[in-house]
């Protein structure tokens, strides 16, 4: 399947490598026969555009969960802080306006359902079975564990769990995504399909 993106993805702020984005696109297209997709951690919409472009092919929707206040590393004084996303009026990081602009520019508003809330709050009353869950939220152990426990249980048999920023070697990056990746495999509910750079793709058994 050829990749069909409605916008120049390289102009979108984000930390997703092109190979990882393409893998998500193909994964969402495959998972669409099983149910809607959901991502945790949208930031400015780079992964959202990859996923929603594939969902559009079968008229499925992507639920995009993010409080849009940034993770720990996005805060002032931290390594990945972006002053352009800092709201001086509220003195808070806010990526939602940029996210909406990018989704609108990509003509994907009819296939993206933004859920502007912390992951645990959004999941509190969630009952919709999901064909794909992509976890790329906060990288503290507590945040990653919350995302995994909140959403993995909603994946249908045969559906997919994708986890970003998996670094087995601590020298390469934070360990929280790697910890939930190991937890998923140890649960015997998921099996590894493939690794694409730092993106782990698992299937629910």
Kindly report, residue by residue over 103-113, the tens digit of the pLDDT.
999 999 999 99
State which H helix or E strand residue 200 sits in.
strand 199-204
pLDDT at 1: 65
Note the helical H segments in the chain.
Answer: 18-31, 46-57, 96-105, 119-123, 141-151, 176-186
Q: Average pLDDT, stretch 181-194?
A: 98
Q: Average pLDDT, stretch 58-69?
A: 97
Q: Model confidence over 190-199: pLDDT tens digits?
A: 999 999 999 9
State which H helix or E strand residue 60 sits in.
none
**Residue 49, pLDDT above cutoff 80:** yes
pLDDT at 72: 82
pLDDT at 32: 96
CATH numbers and ranges of domains, the chain:
12-204 (3.40.50.150)
Residue-wise over 154-174: b if at least 16 C-beta within 10 A, else e? bbeeebbbbbbbbeeeeeeeb
- Distance (Å, whole) CA 67 – CA 70: 7
The reported pTM is 0.95
Structure token pair of residue 32? 């669409």
Catalytic, out of 67, 68, 74, 139: 139
User: 139 catalytic, yes or no?
Assistant: yes
């Amino acid at each position: 399947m050829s990749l069909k993106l409605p916008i120049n993805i390289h102009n979108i702020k984000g930390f997703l490598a092109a190979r990882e984005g393409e893998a998500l696109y193909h994964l969402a297209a495959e998972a669409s026969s099983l149910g809607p997709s959901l991502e945790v951690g949208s930031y400015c919409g780079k992964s959202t555009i990859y996923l929603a472009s594939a969902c559009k092919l079968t008229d499925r929707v992507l639920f995009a969960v993010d409080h849009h206040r940034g993770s720990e590393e996005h805060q002032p004084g931290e390594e990945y802080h972006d002053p352009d996303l800092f709201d001086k009026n509220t003195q808070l990081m806010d990526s939602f306006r940029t996210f909406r602009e990018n989704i609108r520019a990509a003509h994907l508003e009819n296939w993206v359902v933004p859920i502007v809330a912390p992951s645990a709050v959004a999941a509190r009353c969630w009952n919709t079975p999901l064909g794909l869950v992509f976890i790329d939220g906060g990288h503290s152990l507590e945040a990653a564990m919350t995302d995994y426990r909140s959403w993995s249980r909603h994946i249908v048999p045969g559906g997919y769990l994708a986890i970003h920023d998996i670094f087995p070697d601590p020298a390469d990056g934070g360990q929280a995504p790697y910890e939930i990746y190991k937890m998923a495999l140890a649960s015997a509910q998921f099996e590894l399909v493939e690794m694409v750079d730092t993106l782990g793709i698992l299937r629910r058994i």
